[in-house]
Copies of this chain bind each other. A is one copy, B any other.
Amino acid sequence: MTKLLNQITILKTANIAAPIGFHADGQHVGIKHKSKDLGWIYSDAIASVAGVFTTNLVQAAPVQLDKQVIQNGQLQAIIVNSGNANAVTGKIGLTHAKSMQEMAAQQLNIDSNLVAVASTGIIGNVLPIETITRGIKQLKVDGDTQGFAHAIMTTDTKEKSITIQSVIQGKPVTMSGVAKGSGMLHPNMATMLGFVTTDINIDATLLQKALSEDVETSFNQITIDGDTSTNDTVLVMANGLAGNPLISEIGSEYDQFKEMLHIVTTALSIAIANDGEGATKLIAVSVTNAKSAVDARMVAKKVVGSSLVKTAIFGKDPNWGRIIAAIGASDVALDPTIINIKINQINVLLDGTPVEFDTNMMASKLNEHDIHIDIDLHMGNESGQAWGSDLTYEYVKINALYTT
């Protein structure tokens, strides 16, 4: 267990069903050849819900459905399949998403308007709805809770989950998150999915506000290949069973909630970046002293998204020329002659001028798995971060050899 500020504790074992009153399952039901491909999350009590979705105009059927479902701010269950994205599947796609929703509601004996649906996998293939509805009947309320994180994976090589605990107004509270995604849009596989459960008692409007603000600095700051999925979905369920007084206005409890949410979403974001398709490196770009936080995030994301920076890091090349060129192309007003750049703590550019560095020490630093690029813009006081992975032969292989 790791103690953080504000007495927030990260548990050694993560579990999406850890908060009071949450249940989950994840099983193999036959959508994919062998691995787990169907799972759900269920809350004993109706939870406040918040969601953010892909900004792609091409939106998968479950995304279209969920946007309606969460409008009244309430949710009790989420049913998720991998292996098929149910995207660009015509009108039958929405019918299938609704069938998934209704079948899950029936099994859980709740109103179907309280069930959200998510799908991830191949685009353009009709959902094998009979396999899925048969599969839903196999799911248990108290099933393989660890299995849920696996059931939503596609080309992911690692499960991505976190559970944290804290105390709000004397009440112990728990928050868990799971995510999947190793490209913003996979081969034909699609999608970043993220699900957060918590027993904290919080108003749905504030929950949505917290999530909408948070994703700007977490999930929206990861980039693997610059492509935006048709299925990206993040849902947060807060069922209130921790018994803290309802958080219904901005104040210290809301701030604490936001801090917890940020720890969960940032951890999941870094886990996704770390598991980028074909990645050998995690690249973390930190921009300080920007005029605005938006500027800082734009610069960070431009650098971490540059194919040339990504290939340089793969090649263990301290190629700051590509970094400064990406900064200059970020559409942010800045002065190249006052910028500092560090690569894993070694200065490479000071006040826009190249710095001689110890090439042996740099070579050793570039052998590390985590590459930190620190950029000081000297323009103001705001900061921002972004995360990504290197661009490798394996990325090309994964994305070139997968054939529809």
Residues of A with Cβ closer than 8 Å to B? 55-59, 87-88, 90, 122-124, 183, 185, 187-188, 190, 225-230, 305-308, 311-312, 314-322, 324-329, 333-334, 336, 349, 352-354, 391-393, 395-397, 399-404
Q: A349 to B123, alpha carbons, bound, how many Å?
A: 13
A308's partner among B59, B225, B314 (CB-CB below 8 A) is B225
Q: A403 to nearest B CB, angstroms?
A: 5
Q: How far is the CA of A260 from the CA of B104 in the complex (A)?
A: 64
Which of A185, A305, A318, A395 counts the most chain B CB atoms within 10 A?
A185
Q: Give A131 Cβ to nearest chain B Cβ, in Å.
A: 20
- Given contacts A56-B328, A87-B321, could you give 14 more A-B pairs where the C-beta distance is less than 8 Å? A57-B328, A58-B328, A124-B354, A183-B308, A187-B319, A188-B322, A226-B306, A227-B308, A228-B329, A307-B307, A318-B404, A319-B403, A321-B404, A393-B393
- Given contacts A226-B307, A306-B226, A354-B124, is CB(A188)–CB(B321) below 8 Å? yes
A230 touching B325, Cβ below 8 Å: yes
Roughly how many angstroms separate A48 CA and B354 CA in the complex, as a whole number?
A: 38
Complex Cα gap A225–B307 (Å): 6
Residue of A314, A325, A326 ringed by the most chain B CB atoms within 10 A: A325
A188 / chain B contacts, CB cutoff of 8 Å:
319, 321-322
Mind listing 17 A-B residue pairs with CB under 8 Å? A57-B333, A58-B328, A58-B336, A88-B321, A88-B352, A185-B322, A187-B308, A226-B226, A227-B322, A307-B307, A314-B396, A314-B400, A316-B403, A317-B403, A391-B399, A391-B400, A393-B396
